[in-house]
Structure 1
Amino acid sequence: MHPGDWHRIDDLDLFLSRAGTFLHSQPALHTVPLTVTEALRTRGPHAYGDVAPVFGVLERESEVRAVYFRTPPFRLNLTRLTPEEADALAVHLAAADHPLPGVSGERATAVAFAEAWQRHTGATAGLHESQRLYRLGTLTVPGPVPAGRPRIVEKRDRDQLAGWKDEFSVAIGGTADSRAGEWADFRIAYGGITFWEDTDGSPVSMAGATPMVAGQVRVAPVYTPSHLCGRGYAGAVTAEVSRAALASGADEVLLFTDLANPTSNALYQRIGYRPVADFAVYDFTA
């Protein structure tokens, strides 16, 4: 195929007007672009960084077949592509001198693009993480349920929440989040994080959920400080957030896991989550 079939779009509204139907056609597989563009729509173009986001669509016969987006400084995100489509996108982005720190997408797509990017730019691609996307089936609260209770975060929890966001970012291989406070404000505003509190009222774990879009909600992030792990807190708070998502009317409740963590994968399956597709995240170095 020809690289010219790919079209860069810098305006979010224009991107959604052209790609919205395609994104809504498979809400589970497109959960990341759906939730990220919803955050950009509600929080503004600099929700994820100081540099404006970039979008693109693959169009053939006036129909959108795939999309990409990037919110610098983060990696390129792709919907499902054939190897030929991935190669054409690599040519399209390389020709535009569009440097990339990495790529994320369904496994086969991410592999195809990483290989194409290496061919066309000379960059080196290294696997950063293998992920699995799960969809909730029948919700089951894992037992035994720990002492304590769930509580939706409030304004008084801002510092605690921002601090845990920093810790979570580091725990998954990133760096402390300079926008953790803004992120906390956004999540608090719509009740998007739930704490599990110990019997003395101390938060011991948290789970979040994205705003509903296209009938789907994604559970993220789930975090328990390392010294509190293994006590059932993560399972209890994840089950509560999942229950609340269903109660809000979500058709699909989703979450991603790191396949290198067998404990979390087993836990989420005990709660009732079932595999949908595998994803991969690659880093690029010059």
Structure 2
Amino acid sequence: MLPDDWHLTDDVDDFLAEAGGFLRSRPGRHVMQLTWAERIRARGAGAGAAAGASGADAPSFGILVRAGEVCGTFYRLGSLGLSPFTPEQADSLAVRLAALGHELPRVSADHDTATAFAEAWQRHTGATPKLRDTRLNLYGLHALTPPRPQPAGRARLLGDSGADLDEAVRWCAEFAEAVGEDVTVDAATWPSTRYADKRYTLWESPDGVPVSVAGMNPLIGGQIQIDIVYTPAHLRGHGYAAAVTAAVTRTALAAGARDVVLFADAGNPTSNALYRRLGYRVLTGWSVYDFS
């Protein structure tokens, strides 16, 4: 049993051995911890490079133990990702990382935790935090309610054929460009991107033309995260996003997921209303602070 303190490691297997039970006890709120730890475990440090980590910022992890129990974790892949913390816990981590001379470009967590850490980091390092304008809602599935009416067409799961891989690359490249993600998605870069380990579902019109796509991450700790949902701007307003989200949710449940989660832009009333109609409920707000 680890003594009470922060314990830092660059070994993802050690991290999961000590903190896996804690993370799986609340998989929804720990979705990013579980996702990135498993991605690093399965794909090695290259997955950290895909997240923007390199050199001294290679993947690292931390575990907070209090009264002999794990009560908090973090991962660092360039930026810092946190499990839910109290202000005292956030302050203790800021003290530890500042003492080690760490420099952080940003922190990502549920809104209260991210805010508590940003304020603590400023106190202990003088770095100025800036809250990003785009904030997210983290949703968890309560009970799937399929859209009514459903648009004409059908769902199709993308497989491993060359044509299907080309289709996945094309759609993810369009999505990355639409959301302003600083990444090149093409046939050459595909294996190193975060998109490569997802399964994709297309919604096709009656004549077989793809009109919307949704992806899902692998099953981790009984949970699947839906990521991405995308419809090109000129095809929106026809119910395709609702149909493909319902379809990929069914795929996730059929794959054995007890919990299904997804993120949505908190400032987009259309997507938030859509997910609520489909039976998703907000688990928490999510924020990112950048540090000067």
TM-score, structure 2 normalization: 0.88
Q: 1:62, 1:273 → 2: CA distance?
A: 35
2:104 and 2:174 mapped to 1: Cα distance? 25
Give CA deviations for 1:73-125 in whole Å, capped at 9, x if unaligned: xx211011111111121121122222222111111100001111122222221
* Amino acid paired to 1:16: L
Deviates more, 1:248-257 or 1:231-240: 248-257
Confirm whether residue 143 of structure 1 aligns to residue 154 of structure 2.
no
- Which secondary structure does the structure 1 equivalent of 2:245 belong to? helix
> C-alpha deviations, 1:150-205, integer Å up to 9, x for none?
11113323233223323323433432345851145433xxxx11111223322211
User: Structure 2 regions of 5+ residues with no counterpart?
Assistant: none
Partner of 2:197: 186
Sequence identity percentage: 50
Task: Quote the RMSD (CA, aligned, Å).
Answer: 1.9
Give the Cα separation in 1 of the matches to 2:90 and 2:253.
Answer: 36
The aligned amino acid for 1:7 is H
* Aligned residue in 1 for 2:90: 86
Q: Which amino acid aligns with 2:152?
A: A
| TM-aligned CA deviation for residue 132 of structure 1 | 1.4
- Equivalence for 2:37: 37
- 8 Å Cα contact 2:172-2:185 kept in structure 1: no
Q: 1:247-280 deviations in whole A, cap 9, x for unaligned? A: 2222111111110111100000011111222221
Query: Which residue is equivalent to 1:214?
Result: 221
1:159-178 mapped onto 2 (5 Å cutoff): 159-177=166-184
Q: Corresponding residue for 2:74?
A: 68
> 1:62 Cα deviation (Å)?
3.1
CA contact (8 A) 2:23 2:30 kept: yes
Structure 1: runs of 5 or more not aligned: none
CA contact (8 A) 2:73 2:82 kept: yes
Distance 1:99 1:56 in 2: 16
> Which whole-Å CA distance do the structure 1 matches of 2:146 and 2:233 have between them?
22
What does 1:49-68 correspond to in 2, within 5 Å?
Answer: 49=49, 51=54, 52-68=58-74
**1:114 match:** 118
Q: CA contact under 8 A between 2:169 and 2:185: conserved in structure 1?
A: no
TM-score (norm 1): 0.89
Residues 8 and 63 in structure 2, CA contact (< 8 A), matched pair in contact too? yes
What residue is the counterpart of 1:12 in the other structure? 12
CA–CA distance in 1 between the matches of 2:98 and 2:221? 32
Amino acid at match of 1:138: A
d(CA) in 2 for partners of 1:111 and 1:97? 21
Helix, strand or coil at the partner of 2:206? coil
Q: CA offsets per residue over residues 33-59 of structure 1, 9 Å max, x none?
A: 112212222222212416331101112
> Would the alpha carbon gap of residues 93 and 163 (structure 1) be closer, same or farther in structure 2, given more than 3 Å must change?
farther
Q: Tell me the secondary structure at the aligned position of residue 35 of structure 1.
A: helix
Aligned to 1:282: 289
Q: Does the 8 A contact of 1:158 with 1:181 survive in 2?
A: no
Number of residue-to-residue matches in the alignment: 276
Whole-Å separation in 2 of the counterparts to 1:181 and 1:37: 20
Q: In the superposition, relative to structure 1, how do residues 178 and 150 fare at CA in structure 2: closer, same or farther (>3 Å)?
A: closer
Distance 2:209 2:44 in 1: 34
